Amino acid sequence: MLHQRVYGIVALATSLLAPVFAAGPTFIPDATFKGGSLTGWHVLGQADWHAQNGEVVGTVKPGGNGGWLMLDRSYQDVGFFANFRCSGGCRTGVLFRAEKTAEGMKGVFVSLDEGDVASYRVTLGPDGKELQREALPFINGTVRIAPPRDPAAAGRGGAAGRGGRGGGGGRNAATPNPNLPIAPPKRGLRPGDWNQVEIFLDANVIKAFLNTDPETAGGVADEEAGRYGPLALYVGGAGEVRFKDIAYKDVAMKVAPEEQVSSHFRMQRLNEFYYAWSAAAADFNRDGILDVVAGPYIYFGPDYTKSREIFMAHAWNPSREYANDCMLQYAADMTGDGWPDVICSNLGTPVFLYVNPKGESRRWDKYQVIPRIQNEIIVLKDIDGDGKPELVYTADGCLRYAKPDPAKPTEPWIVHTISEPGLVTGHGLGVGDINGDGRMDIVNAYGWFEQPPAGSHQELWTYHPQVFGSWSRCCGVGGALMAVYDVNGDGLNDVVTSVQAHGFGLAWYEQKPTQPARSLSSSM
């Protein structure tokens, strides 16, 4: 019988996954170090440096207090990558914008010591000896330009704000289930072993990523800390430090490749300003032609040059903020009047329904229909087979779907919780029939949830653990919208998904039959 079948997954890798697993930078470097000489570098301070088999090795001179290997070339905004190993009690780090001063030098330093992975403003004497170190104000998130510091804020090392997406809340309020099929990677510095570091200093923000950790040593690096100068490797303490796979890039140089469009398509830019990061399509004016909604505007087909607000439009500054009024957007007739409506939400905020005014020349009425969502992906699809779509989302650490009461569609929707807490992710969600029983199942990065038969009193759906993604260094596990689709035409639905929502990789997880029971295997 169908409910007795067993399901599993097997993975194959594609070339698109190479950046995920390769030990290399996420940027295309201007230069890499692979040689056997230190040409292009010079030494400052009381340390010996030499190149050996593509590695840079640094040791402190007897009786010395440490020293620097400085690149001859200077940068203001720079990306840096390396693998390093600090053994025998050594201390290490990387200095940026090493600017000469009357007293010696100053710059922005990222410490890579056990118990001290952090960013600092440092001053050096003419001999390279560190004279002063101050922690940079902390900043996190994806903001590029840190706002001016509040003069009343306490201390240079105080928080400078997180600069995130806003909306409050978090992606996963519930504690993750300890039996999840993919465990988080071990975090932190590995003392005495090889570690990977990638650092970006751009505008007035420095971001450091250690191994698979989220952002580790973010800080506000204003010009008073150092404006322009070379980068440098540091060694102090005892023992030795080794750097390899060194790569760096001038990130101030932007490259805009020529836009190319296939002859089978045409491209049309709908708006020059930043109003949204989501879009949907429907025939909003019922003229038989699809229109596009993106954030506050509907763009009417067939030429898409005419637009109208559904709510008051506010252009956002892409250097400092996200379009937080409608991060997630879908279009469908949710009121049953035959006119497509618009669903809008954002991470950590309620879900709002904008009701189509049926041709009236005005902005749309807005109703809160779900109190709060917890993930960056929602799915609108017919779950229960009634011909009307439901909204699939995460809240309170659980997987849920919601639908309107047909008699009261603008009042709070009917919510169905289908999973226990701890089985959800902030990224990656999809809907489709995994096991071929004619019912829609739900998939996320931790596996798939089997919909019970119609008429069943089973509230929580059967959970099948399975890895559909990988951990990223910024935002946990999972991709974006996940497709359930028979890729190879064998009659078994597969799963197609990005591997990391804020990383790299596209994967196809292939379902395969086995004997005597049927199982899922996967291909990437």
Residue ranges of the domains in the chain? 31-145+190-250, 266-509
By three-state DSSP, how is residue 131 classified? strand
**Angle 486-417-500 (CA atoms, 0-180°, nearest 5)?**
50
Q: What is the pLDDT of residues 265-316, one digit of tens each?
A: 999 999 999 999 899 999 999 999 999 999 999 999 999 999 999 999 999 9
Range of lowest pLDDT (250-254, 326-330, 517-521): 517-521
- Has residue 216 got a pLDDT over 90? no
Query: Is residue 177 predicted with pLDDT exceeding 80?
Result: no
Residue 232 has which token pair? 């440098």
* Residue 137 DSSP class: P
CB 513 within 8 A of CB 2: no
CATH match for 266-509 among 2.40.70, 1.10.8, 3.10.450, 2.130.10? 2.130.10
What is the pLDDT at residue 6?
A: 33
Average pLDDT over residues 439-444: 97
**Ramachandran category for residue 200: left, alpha or beta (phi over 0 → left; psi -120 to 50 → alpha):** beta
Across the range 4-19, mean pLDDT stands at 36
**Look-up: residue for tokens 């379902």?**
511
User: If DSSP codes are grouped into helix, strand and coil, which group holds residue 85?
Assistant: strand
Are residues 285 and 304 in contact, defined by beta-carbon separation less than 8 angstroms? no
Question: Per residue in 40-61, pLDDT tens?
Answer: 999 999 999 999 999 999 999 9
Backbone region of residue 386 per phi and psi (left: phi > 0; alpha: psi in -120 to 50; beta: other values): alpha
Cis geometry, peptide bond prior to residue 452 (ω within 30 degrees of 0): no
Mean pLDDT in the chain?
A: 88
- Measured between alpha carbons, how far is 50 from 242 in angstroms, rounded to an integer? 10
Q: What percentage of the chain carries pLDDT values higher than 70?
A: 88
Residue in 303, 312, 281 with CA at minimum distance from that of residue 294 = 281
Rounded to 5°, angle at Cα 43 from 39 and 46: 150
Of residues 180 and 32, the one with the higher pLDDT is: 32
Indicate the pLDDT class of residue 477, thresholds 50, 70 and 90.
confident
293 sits in which H/E element: strand 291-294
- What pLDDT shows up at residue 19? 36
The structure's pTM equals 0.84
How far apart are the C-alpha atoms of 431 and 425, rounded to whole Å? 15
Q: What is the pLDDT, as a whole number, of residue 316?
A: 93
Mean pLDDT of 398-406: 97
pLDDT in tens, 490-506: 999 999 999 888 888 89
The rounded distance, in Å, linking the Cα atoms of 119 and 237 is 19
Please give the share of the chain, as a percent, with pLDDT higher than 90: 73
d(CA 506, CA 493): 17
Question: What pLDDT, on the 0 to 100 scale, is given for residue 341?
Answer: 98
pLDDT value at residue 387:
95
φ and ψ of 93, to 5 deg: 170, -175
Q: 68 with 95: CB under 8 angstroms? A: yes
* CATH number, span 31-145+190-250: 2.60.120.560
